[in-house]
Amino acid sequence: MKSEIIQKLQSQFDALAQIIPGETIEFWFARDLQVPLGYHRWENFLATIKRAIESCQTTGYDPNDHFRSVTKMIELGKGGKRPIEDFMLTRYACYLIAQNGDPRKEPIAFAQSYFAIQTRKQELIEERMRLQARLEAREKLRESEKTLSQNIYERGVDDTGFARIRSKGDTALFGGHSTQVMKNKYGITQSRPLADFLPTLTIAAKNLATEITNHNVLQNELHGEGAITGEHVQNNQSV
Residue span of the structural domain in which 189 resides: 132-238
Q: Are residues 138 and 220 in the same domain?
A: yes
In a domain, 125, yes or no: no
Query: How many separate domains does the chain show?
Result: 2
121 lies in some domain: no
| Residue 180 DSSP symbol | H
171 and 140 in a single domain? The answer is yes
The confidence band for 146, taking pLDDT boundaries of 50, 70 and 90, is very high
Average pLDDT, the chain: 86
Do residues 64 and 56 lie in contact, with contact meaning Cβ atoms separated by under 8 Å? no
Q: Answer for the pair 201, 207: CB distance below 8 angstroms, yes or no.
A: no
Q: Are residues 140 and 228 in the same domain?
A: yes
* pLDDT(24) > 70: no
Check whether residue 178 and residue 207 sit in a common domain. yes
Residue 55's pLDDT is 93
Please check whether residue 72 lies inside any domain of the structure: yes
Q: Say if residue 105 is in the same domain as residue 138.
A: no
Pair (94, 144) in one structural domain: no
- Which pTM value belongs to this model? 0.49
Share of the chain above pLDDT 90, in %: 38
